[in-house]
Structure 1
């Protein structure tokens, strides 16, 4: 009881000090309260009256939209964030329509298909990431996030040991890994291992041997996709593991050939 009385007394003193402030007093007047005779009960009653007076269908839609907007700030992954943002935009668009705010209505209405398109891309990415466990190594899902670049015969796409900042996907033309004299066919990744090395250095030299074009994506773009959809991390791991296993098998084949050649010479 003593503690409750002390808290009540402290709140009253705070209120008395606040009412002496000219700016706060003006706020009380605007709320319809008398600065010289104000209590906490009066403030609460007046706020409740204002709240009830402003409960309209349009404001209810705006309130729900605001709740979903706050949800987007608390969401850590991209797919539920897009869903919450779409729902919030729908409610804000309805609010704009009910209040006759054309700008608000058009703004949030336009954001719905934009979020829907990005959501579709994210869902496609997640689907491909899950399909990686079943051996689906198609790179079609990544193309919307990449930009096109053309090369002519004799161009060097990357050199071993140089700093790496992007990954490439072959589309047309012919490219060759100089160090091992292996051609890279269309639909194959190049430069993904540089993304995994500690200092982001190229592990091989790639030369264009026939005019063609590739699609590129920066390592920052790859990180953005990963943080938006952690499933991509597993998908990318499968891709790079396949490349490492292919390189290992190629090295073993070369070693076996050399061993046979040495034995033939020895005999």
Structure 2
């Protein structure tokens, strides 16, 4: 009876490992997949040790730490992403990846419609986005919208008003950082989103101003026509 009880227990363990393996294959997201994989490896390793199945034992001894390491990396990645999504948009850490150069007053760094291949970080001097008539402060990123544009074209003209220094980084390097560092990806996404929302706010403010001007001008027109 003890032999039968032991065999039944081992069979149940084997079926549990098979069920976990099938369940893991059906997972659509990576963290549940890794968790089920760890459980399946643990059960499979126990079953292999009891049954002296050395090939299965070897496979599970390799997969168990591998799945554990990948799970740790994913949890750490999610923690970094959450931290990045709550932090400010300081790009100071990007400086080591950028190239410094001097800019003279009157120089146009890029013009609207130009092909875009890099973005800039203002260190010193004064700069203006011509079409929006917006002067940029020191320590600002500019030129990132061309990276998001489908045809990689500049949407504004950036001119230097006062000599200074800038840092620039090519879009190819930005792509590498984007895919290698998910935290940078969230920074970049928030940066471009914030720029779009600010442009929308300016547009809405301008529409409201035009409406007010039109409303104020209407009585004057009526008086003039009378």
1:92-241 matched pairs, under 5 angstroms: 130-241=82-193
SS in 2 for 1:201: coil
SS in 2 for 1:160: coil
1:168·1:191 contact (CA, 8 Å) conserved in 2? yes
SS in 2 for 1:164: coil
Counterpart CA distance in 2 for 1:201 and 1:195 is: 8
SS in 2 for 1:136: coil
SS in 1 for 2:165: strand
Which ranges of 4 or more aligned residues in structure 1 deviate by more than 3 Å? 129-132
1:160·1:205 contact (CA, 8 Å) conserved in 2? yes
SS in 2 for 1:227: helix
**2:199 is matched with which residue?**
247
Counterpart CA distance in 1 for 2:110 and 2:147 is: 13
Greater RCO, 1 or 2 (C-alpha within 8 Å, sep 6+):
2
1:132·1:238 contact (CA, 8 Å) conserved in 2? no
**Matched residues, number:** 146
Counterpart CA distance in 1 for 2:84 and 2:192 is: 12
CA shift at 1:130, angstroms? Answer: 4.9
Counterpart CA distance in 2 for 1:154 and 1:184 is: 15
CA shift at 1:231, angstroms? Answer: 2.9
TM-score, normalized by length of structure 1?
A: 0.51
State the structure with more CA Rg: 1
| Structure 1 unmatched runs, 5+ | 1-70, 81-125
Counterpart CA distance in 2 for 1:266 and 1:193 is: 39
CA shift at 1:171, angstroms? Answer: 1.0
Residues 11-48 of structure 1 show CA distances to partners (whole Å, capped at 9, x for unaligned) of xxxxxxxxxxxxxxxxxxxxxxxxxxxxxxxxxxxxxx
